[in-house]
Chain A
């Protein structure tokens, strides 16, 4: 079967590169084709990469607390660009300070993200959800 494609990157003015490399490795190992855009990735870059490669999901990381601002409007732009139905994941330290995760999750889901992951999530958890959402059966 053809590999499912993920566009991966760290959004906004965020230069945290280590987690990005770990995710790239973990997703690739799990059988996905990873299009890794690295750090300092704008919303437009995520979308353009997803269009050109016909990706199945966009996986956004944010570590520096400004994720909420950076992610706002991403789903709307995807709709505008003709990939409105694409699977959107976000994870990391995505908000400022310590806030109840349920509230954070709800806020990002309202923004149009399909899955939201808090700090300390294992890559395996993300992989399990990706397989479920993309109907991958082992």
Chain B
């Protein structure tokens, strides 16, 4: 037996997972409240106590952890044009597992600097200009950033002609140069920046957030939790050298406060659509901060309207309004009556509908003198045939497979390029983040366990 321990320090729960590499099999999972205010090890030890009741006391050969505790990895980004470098910077940060709390475009103002000081980001990503392109904005923004009173690491990933100037302007601060996130117009190069974000997270953020006491006990906090989930999705999709994966997939992670959507897919146009806008990463992550089951329940209501929630739940509009208010004010509440269960079902369906629609690309029809033509913005996911559902707010819901269908393409919104027909897999044991971690060193074991443990719920459309 070769037991390995995987730990996810979440914002609410610390989740622990034990696997045996020599199976490879999943031995068991347990969870306890995260205790970041006092000592993070308290929650961890409680969770480990729970785990040992289930799997016995094991002599772990390795312990790996990921974390989204203490607010996760909070980033602010700036670029030049909102749809171009500012968007590239945002995509880079999201893909690195960050929570993007603010995106600036064009010139930073005095007010922006005050706002940045107040928001105290963990990392600032400064971009702007293609290589050999505009220099004025990024250099001006570096000068503005140099006025910040708070200290945070800054990554410079803009026009390479400006890099040295920016480093000079920001001298005395913790600043790192990366290759341009958009070296040519319409071409992304975000991986080097993402690696740097991860390195900073390891070196610095963990300590700043009081997680280092835990880090000493384990073999390292490897990455932010969303980066671990994205990594698991990539492994599940692409497979390893010896075992094939599931192929292109869409992942949904429905939480209490946010909903994360992942797509591991090329997203090329179907027929003769002309691609517009920035090319998107093959492994793409988006986060909807206003869409979730509890803290963000009102955001869902706002996004889809009370009529839609009433229709999905079978409740009256007045009931929906009152009950949604209630659960968002009391995020710990469980759906203990039939009505609240119906509301949870409706919010979950609407959350997935909204978040996948925002993540997926869409078509725009244009009338030309020679007939209609189509422009595609974002990724075409209509051909993706696997849907993976995770998130504490949904995996225990018996209706999860039905809820998952709301990720699909509908006739009523024919220009939204969501999956048409897909196999549904549900992460009932809540192991995706752990498998993303395990996959860093043991991809074959992680893939085998995921394939075994993800519950298959048939093909739906």
Residues of A within 8 A of B (CB): 2, 5, 13-15, 33, 35, 38-40, 45, 48-49, 51-55, 64-66
Contacts and interface: CB of A to CB of B under 8 A. Distances in A.
B366 to A, nearest CB: 5
Contacts, number: 60
Given A49-B185, A52-B185, A54-B129, A13 B134 contact: no
Contacts of A45: 276
A13 B130 contact: no
10 contacts: A5-B132, A13-B368, A15-B274, A15-B373, A35-B184, A48-B83, A48-B84, A52-B80, A53-B132, A54-B134
Q: Among B134, B366, B367, B375, which residue has the most Cβ atoms of chain A within 10 A?
A: B134
B130 A53 contact: yes
A52 B132 contact: no
Contacts of B85: 52
B278 to A, nearest CB: 11
A40 B132 contact: no
Nearest to B88: A52
Given A38-B274, A52-B130, A13 B83 contact: no
A85 B130 CA distance: 20
A64 B368 contact: yes
Nearest to B137: A51
Given A39-B274, A52-B85, A54-B132, A13 B80 contact: no
B366 A52 contact: no
Given A15-B373, A40-B274, A51 B135 contact: no
Nearest to A44: B83
Contact of B366 (A38, A40, A49, A54): A40
B interface residue count range (under 10 / 10 to 19 / 20 to 34 / 35 or more): 20 to 34
A54 B133 contact: yes
B398 interface: no
A70 to B, nearest CB: 12
A35 B185 contact: yes
A2 B132 contact: yes
Contacts of A39: 274
Nearest to A42: B276
B199 interface: no
Contacts of A33: 132
Given A33-B132, A40-B373, A53-B134, 16 more contacts: A2-B132, A5-B132, A5-B133, A13-B367, A13-B368, A13-B373, A15-B368, A40-B366, A52-B84, A52-B85, A52-B129, A52-B134, A53-B130, A53-B133, A54-B132, A66-B369
B22 interface: no
Contact of B369 (A2, A35, A48, A64): A64
A128 B158 CA distance: 33
B304 to A, nearest CB: 30
A35 to B, nearest CB: 5
B188 to A, nearest CB: 13
Nearest to B367: A13
Nearest to A65: B369
A38 B185 CA distance: 12
A51 B368 contact: no
Contacts of A13: 366-369, 373
B81 interface: yes
Contacts of B366: 13, 40
A35 B132 CA distance: 12
Nearest to B182: A52
